[in-house]
Amino acid sequence: MTSAPGMHDQIVHAATLLKAGGIVAFPTETVYGLGADISSSAAVRRIFEIKKRPADHPLIVHFGDASQLRRWARVIPDAAMALAERFWPGPLTLILPRARQVSEYVTGGQETVGLRVPNHPVALALLAELGEDRALAAPSANRFGHVSPTMAAHVHQELGDAVDMILDGGPCEIGLESTIVGFEGQTAIVLRPGGIPLASLAEALDGNVVLADGTRAQRVRVSGSLASHYAPATPLELLAGEALWQRALELRTRRLRVAVVSWSASSRERRAEMMDEKNILNVSMPADALQYGHRLYATLRNLDNDGFDRLLVETPPDDPAWLAVSDRLRRAAHAP
């Protein structure tokens, strides 16, 4: 990807813009990020303005290599070091006490900072170009509360001229945000399920991993833990099995345009029986959690653009592998 024609020049240009306090959207393996050099308070402030994000919601700081962790975190529990060595570069964000170089305007006033080494050739080339004494604050490149962008075109559509440059690194491989982990002693607390499966974390830490309960997640202000985050504009309902299609028929008789997003074979069979139903679009999603996650946000965006009145989504399997997908869908269904 970095060898695409012109990509190297674009990365050099992006680094120049960032050093001058500009805002550059760039690809990561999870979702596209909206990047600012953390040493520029003006640039970081602009990120909050562009996203329309409350100023007390902390940003994730991205840097180029796990070996630089000490530069950005003041205290590093052994468990955090083990996860950094095992999963970086990768879809894992560690919440650690911030080093002095990480200002409060990046962390929303908190003493901790979210840190991540992204695993995408364009992101890594950009961070290398910036040099190891710099890091990028980068929230997902969408407006606050919306679905994260998984393609450069999504960023264009949503933020367009508000950013100085958009680096196009193709579709994001994972498509859901990073797993966010905090620590209590040597116990890892999963604050947001994401690209790293729970089972992999547990394996790396001899099972010393727990899921945050709602209260704890709220106390550290994970904006992704708001009930109605990650939401499409179209109202979305989560329904299982037969209720899914009953609801579709009911809404259809009220002349609403409905999209049904299903993954199970039984649901597809049910759909086959209803083939003559107009005004009900069926979107078949993969029955594999990773593939489903990869497609989820782009699918929600497309359905938003198509102007449906209601999105009916089949409840995902009750299985740890589906944790991140279930989490995002539950929040999307919660939207006002």
Residues of this chain that interact with ligand TXA (CB under 6 A) are: 28, 30-31, 33, 57-60, 91, 93, 95, 107, 110, 112-114, 116, 118, 138-140, 177-178, 180, 220-224
Nearer to ligand TXA, 121 or 243 (CB): 121
Q: Least CB distance from residue 110 to ligand TXA, whole Å?
A: 5
Helices (H), 73-230: 78-87, 104-107, 121-130, 152-159, 198-204, 214-219
From ligand TXA, Mg ion, none, which one binds at residue 220 (CB under 5 to 8 Å depending on kind)?
A: ligand TXA
Q: Least CB distance from residue 178 to ligand TXA, whole Å?
A: 3
Nearer to Mg ion, 28 or 140 (CB): 140
Nearer to Mg ion, 39 or 140 (CB): 140
Nearer to ligand TXA, 59 or 155 (CB): 59
Q: Least CB distance from residue 94 to ligand TXA, whole Å?
A: 10
Scan residues 120-159 and list those touching Mg ion (CB under 5 A): 140
> 56 Cβ partners below 8 Å, 6+ apart?
108, 109, 221
From ligand TXA, Mg ion, none, which one binds at residue 279 (CB under 5 to 8 Å depending on kind)?
A: none
Nearer to Mg ion, 145 or 235 (CB): 145
Token code pair at residue 287: 């029955």
End-to-end CA distance of the chain: 39
From ligand TXA, Mg ion, none, which one binds at residue 37 (CB under 5 to 8 Å depending on kind)?
A: none
Nearer to Mg ion, 77 or 195 (CB): 195
CA distance linking residue 236 with residue 234, whole number of Å = 6
From ligand TXA, Mg ion, none, which one binds at residue 14 (CB under 5 to 8 Å depending on kind)?
A: none
Token code pair at residue 17: 């813009």
CB-based burial, 211-226: b 16+ in 10 Å, e otherwise = ebeeebbeebbbbbbb
Is-contact 26 10, C-beta < 8 A? no
Q: Least CB distance from residue 115 to ligand TXA, whole Å?
A: 9
Residue 59 backbone dihedrals phi, psi, to 5 degrees:
-100, 155
Nearer to ligand TXA, 95 or 313 (CB): 95
Q: How many CB atoms lie within 10 A of CB 174?
A: 22
- Residue entry with tokens 């209590």: 184
Is-contact 98 113, C-beta < 8 A? yes
Q: Least CB distance from residue 72 to Mg ion, whole Å?
A: 20
Which amino acid would we find at residue 235? P
Q: Least CB distance from residue 296 to ligand TXA, whole Å?
A: 14
Q: Least CB distance from residue 144 to Mg ion, whole Å?
A: 8
Q: Least CB distance from residue 186 to Mg ion, whole Å?
A: 28
From ligand TXA, Mg ion, none, which one binds at residue 180 (CB under 5 to 8 Å depending on kind)?
A: ligand TXA
From ligand TXA, Mg ion, none, which one binds at residue 59 (CB under 5 to 8 Å depending on kind)?
A: ligand TXA
Measured CA distances, 7 to 2, 51, 214, 242 (Å):
6, 26, 42, 49
Nearer to ligand TXA, 123 or 280 (CB): 123
Cα-Cα-Cα-Cα torsion 75, 80, 81, 84, nearest 10 degrees, comes to -120
